[in-house]
Structure 1
Amino acid sequence: MGEQAEETVTLLLVDDHPVVRDGLRGMFESSPGFRVLGEASNGVDGVGLALRLDPDVVLMDLRMPGGDGVAAIAELARRGARAKVLVLTTYDTDSDTLPAIEAGATGYLLKDAPREELFTAVRAAAQGRAVLSPAVASRLVSRVRTPASAPGAEPLSAREREVLELVAKGSSNREIAKDLFISEATVKTHLTHLYAKLGVRDRAAAVAVGYDRHILGA
């Protein structure tokens, strides 16, 4: 897909606070290049609207009564929704961050992110790029860093690097297998090996360390 600046990114806002939704809608609608297709106050309604309206990006709160964000993200992935999910929340604890990203979120931003950072993140998410706010990324890196992830550790093979790059784009094991013409079992083997080399235990941590060590984004 092209990267022309004039391409309009369509959005769905999912948050249980009307004032937050109003603020986000006003911010995006006053900026060229964005269009808000709809709003939902919980994860269940968010999934239904995302499937019906087919937005490019869903801005998803995590903690909502009547259907939380992580469950909604997992359901959208299960239903094969095209939309990329960008978590926008006040919480940055590991217990929230990792499940959201493992469920299929493309990225994670805190609600105090500057307007331009939010706009940039939404555009990146629409293009399928992983988005972690600097605060979240640094916390993940410090949490997962171990002696095995120090410079000089065993380098990734070309295939492991390809797998990691696809993980960073938010691809599932099934999608990675399809893209690289290998089996899902082989994808899991590559992931096991690259986790060991990076000294991490999950996808989000692998992406964070990948950026930290300049394996990604080089």
Structure 2
Amino acid sequence: MSESTYLIQPCAPRRQLRRVPLAHPELAPAPPLNPLELRVLDAISRGRTNSQIGRALGRAENSVKGISHRIYVKLGAADRAHAVAIGYQTGLLGTRPLDFDDA
């Protein structure tokens, strides 16, 4: 295997851990996510459940599931861990603070 940088989602269950090669940010433009989708993606990256995200945002759990699904579609992600990896690859995560409440 070549010398590449890999991201392993630390909060994902062991069976879901996978190695994802990181792209260069200048080669992977960030998909257009709206501010709510960015907040949900940020919360997912912090290991929050849909229920926790819903409580923090004042939305129903099913609403958060719908938002998460839209994120996966926009990013071309297979699941939560993959969406987070793409978020870091494209600079959607880790480049600016988001206002998600950690409480």
**What secondary structure sits across from 1:217 in the alignment?**
coil
Distance (Å, rounded) in 2 between the aligned partners of 1:206 and 1:152: 12
* Distance 1:202-1:214 versus aligned 2 partners, 3 A rule: same
- Per-residue Cα deviation, 1:81-102 (whole angstroms, up to 9, x for no partner): xxxxxxxxxxxxxxxx78x71x
Distance in 2 (alpha carbons) for counterparts of 1:152 and 1:172: 24
User: After superposition, where does 1:86-105 map in structure 2 within 5 Å?
Assistant: 101=12, 103=13
Q: Does 2:17 align with 1:151?
A: no
**Match for 1:192: what amino acid?**
H
Q: 1:175 to 1:214 in 2, by over 3 A?
A: same
Of 49, 69, 78, the match for 1:192: 69
The count of aligned residue pairs is: 81
Which of the residues 128, 140, 148 maps onto 2:20?
A: 140
| Alignment equivalent of 1:203, drawn from 66, 80, 86 | 80
TM-score by length of 1: 0.33
RMSD over equivalenced CA pairs, Å: 2.6
**Partner Cα separation in structure 2 for residue 157 and residue 210 of structure 1:** 13
2:58 to 161, 181, 189: 181
Report the Cα distance in structure 2 between the residues aligned to 1:164 and 1:152, rounded to whole angstroms: 13
Q: Distance in 1 between matches of 2:67 and 2:55?
A: 14
Taking the aligned partners of 2:83 and 2:55, their CA distance within structure 1 comes to 21
Using the size of structure 2 for normalisation, the TM-score is 0.68
The CA deviation string for residues 49-100 of structure 1, in whole angstroms up to 9 with x for no partner, is xxxxxxxxxxxxxxxxxxxxxxxxxxxxxxxxxxxxxxxxxxxxxxxx78x7
Residue ranges of structure 1 left out of the alignment (5+ in a row): 1-96, 109-135
Matches of 1:199 and 1:170, distance apart in 2 = 20
More relative contact order, 1 or 2 (CA 8 Å, 6+ apart): 2
CA contact (8 A) 1:167 1:207 kept: yes
Q: C-alpha displacement at 1:151, in angstroms?
A: 2.3
Could you list the runs of 5+ residues in structure 2 that have no partner in the other structure? 1-7, 96-103
How big is each residue's C-alpha offset from its partner over 1:12-36, in whole Å with a ceiling of 9 and x where there is no partner? xxxxxxxxxxxxxxxxxxxxxxxxx
Match of 2:37 in 1: 160
Residue pair 1:141, 1:209 contacting (<8 A) in 2 also: no
Secondary structure, aligned partner of 1:156: coil
Structure with more of its chain in strand, by fraction = 1
Alignment partner of 2:20: what SS?
helix
Correspondence for 2:99: none
Kindly name which structure, 1 or 2, has the bigger radius of gyration based on alpha carbons: 1
